[in-house]
Amino acid sequence: MFKANPDYLKLRGSYLFSTVANKQKAFQAANPDKKIIRLSIGDVTQPLAPVIIDALHKAVDEMAVAETFHGYAPDLGYEFLRKAAAENDYRARGCDIADDEIFISDGAKGDCGNIQEIFAKDCKVAVCDPVYPVYVDTNVMAGRTGVFDEASETWSDVIYMPCTAENNFMPEIPAETPDIIYLCFPNNPTGGVITKDALQGWVDYANKVGAVIIYDAAYEAYISEDNIPHSIYECEGARTCAIEIHSFSKNAGFTGVRLGYTVIPKDLKCGDVQLHSLWARRHGTKYNGAPYIIQKAGEAVYSAEGKKQLAEQVAYYMKNAAYISNGLKEAGYEVYGGVNAPYIWLKTPDNMTSWEFFDKLLEQANVVGTPGSGFGPSGEHYFRLTAFGSYENTVEAIDRIKKM
Ligand SMILES: Cc1ncc(COP(=O)(O)O)c(C=O)c1O
């Protein structure tokens, strides 16, 4: 008789967003006349920029002709895209990253989840709390997290680094030494950012203790202030301790198109073993490459016109962020984020739990947000709203919240 993977059986309840979706569905079924506005899931709403659409059309036409048809893509990505990413996202910023240190994929979620496969099972993982749930859940699936404690809502073998208003949403070096440290800045869900000096501190620490930092830069395009690093490779020594993960979802609206990449410098080694080689081996065995059509669309992101159009798209969402942030402040809420990130993180009023506030918002304003506790125990009494809606819906949602 077969047995299910026991580590999968340890996973907690349903995924945060399915619980949110189920509650929304039940409310809509009971109140069919109400217009619900979703400021919950981090999906974009603006159509793909014209430059991306043009690139897609052109690539599709190429697929119709034998001479320009493309079959399996190279496992690690087409050279044109690896070069464009290395050149624009790194070398243009003074970061020493070679084209062949970029591994193209179908998005950051898969890379965030799969990257743990190249580490030993007894590696100790540290995560920020609250955190993007994928980092913890995929380590649960891999059997790396120990036993779940219902009372504290934590895993015995995971090191949690609380990020709350008290420490300005900045993780502190943990008492116990981790092997793998997940960092994500600009942060989902808090909208917080890290200064270059603070990130340098993490790089120095990782090099000192022999840890690897998995740096999720999915929201890098939203950085608006100076002295906020766009990449961990802006820090000295990051080539020997950091892996960086990128997405095309939030800077270019590729959530439904699917494209991302992971950077692994060849200097990142465990003894003689390059993590670069292990990830290349993994890609070669388990992945057959992102589609040519999509990689051509990704290349257009780096064109002069692409950069201009996408900056406008980011500005559109950040106008929403400002509206949400200012509106909530006017209504007396304690509000964080929304300046260098498309997320607004607010403290729930009157010490309500995150789910109590979720229900109140849904019932009284017909607005759906995301309860902070879904991102980890330190997210309790916080709540996340996203700036990814249309401007009209965002304005309507905030005006309704102000009247609550
Ligand atoms: C922190 C973070 N990393 C990665 C992702 C996933 O990005 P992608 O759409 O490229 O899979 C998300 C999506 O919301 C995210 O919030």
Torsion angle defined by CA atoms of residues 100, 203, 190 and 356, in that order, rounded to the nearest 10 degrees? 110
Closest Cα partner for 213 from 196, 195, 199, 223? 199
Residue 122 neighbours by CB distance under 10 Å: 9
Whether 366 contacts 380, CB under 8 Å: no
CA of 68 to the centre of ligand 1 (A): 32
Residue 60 neighbours by CB distance under 10 Å: 12
Q: Say if residue 139 is exposed, middle or buried (CB neighbours under 10 Å; 0-12, 13-18, 19+).
A: buried
Distance of CA 13 to the CA centre of its chain: 21
- Say how far apart CA 136 and CA 115 lie, in whole Å: 12
Residue 31 neighbours by CB distance under 10 Å: 13
CA of 333 to the centre of ligand 1 (A): 27
End-to-end CA distance of the chain: 56
Confidence of residue 14 (pLDDT cuts 50, 70, 90): low
Question: Alpha-carbon Rg of the chain, whole angstroms?
Answer: 21
pLDDT at 11: 93
Q: Ligand 1: does its nearest atom lie under 6 Å from the Cβ of 386?
A: no
Provide the pairing of β-strand 382-386 with 370-371. antiparallel
- Say how far apart CA 325 and CA 307 lie, in whole Å: 26
Whether 290 contacts 73, CB under 8 Å: yes
| Mean pLDDT of all residues belonging to the chain | 97
Q: Ligand 1: does its nearest atom lie under 6 Å from the Cβ of 132?
A: yes
- Say how far apart CA 308 and CA 23 lie, in whole Å: 39
Indicate if the pLDDT at residue 304 is higher than 80. Answer: yes
Q: Ligand 1: does its nearest atom lie under 6 Å from the Cβ of 108?
A: yes
Indicate if the pLDDT at residue 39 is higher than 80. Answer: yes
CA of 394 to the centre of ligand 1 (A): 21
CA of 247 to the centre of ligand 1 (A): 7
Q: Ligand 1: does its nearest atom lie under 6 Å from the Cβ of 184?
A: yes
Residue 18 neighbours by CB distance under 10 Å: 10
Q: Please tell me whether the overall predicted TM-score, pTM, comes out greater than 0.85 for this model.
A: yes
Give all domains of the chain, ordered by start, each with its CATH number. 6-48+305-402 (3.90.1150.10), 53-302 (3.40.640.10)
Element (H, E) at 327: helix 304-330
Atom number of ligand 1 nearest to Cα 43: 14
pLDDT above 70 covers a percentage of the chain that reads 100
Which residue CA neighbors atom 2 of ligand 1 most closely? 218
SS3 377: helix
Give the angle subtended at the CA of 168 by the CAs of 164 and 171, to the nearest 5°. 70
Which of 112, 138, 254 has most ligand 1 atoms within 8 Å of its beta carbon, as the pocket-test mutant?
Answer: 112
* pLDDT tens profile 107-142: 999 999 999 999 999 999 999 999 999 999 999 999
Atom number of ligand 1 nearest to Cα 41: 14
Confidence of residue 393 (pLDDT cuts 50, 70, 90): very high
CA of 30 to the centre of ligand 1 (A): 32
Provide the pairing of β-strand 212-216 with 242-247. parallel
Whether 224 contacts 347, CB under 8 Å: no
Peptide bond into 186 cis (omega under 30): yes
130: tokens are 């609250």
Confidence of residue 325 (pLDDT cuts 50, 70, 90): very high
CA of 328 to the centre of ligand 1 (A): 26
Whether 165 contacts 108, CB under 8 Å: no
Mean pLDDT of 93-113: 98
Confidence of residue 42 (pLDDT cuts 50, 70, 90): confident
Task: Tell me phi and psi for residue 289, to 5 degrees.
Answer: 90, 145
274: tokens are 């390059």
Atom number of ligand 1 nearest to Cα 42: 14
Q: Ligand 1: does its nearest atom lie under 6 Å from the Cβ of 255?
A: yes
50: tokens are 């014209």
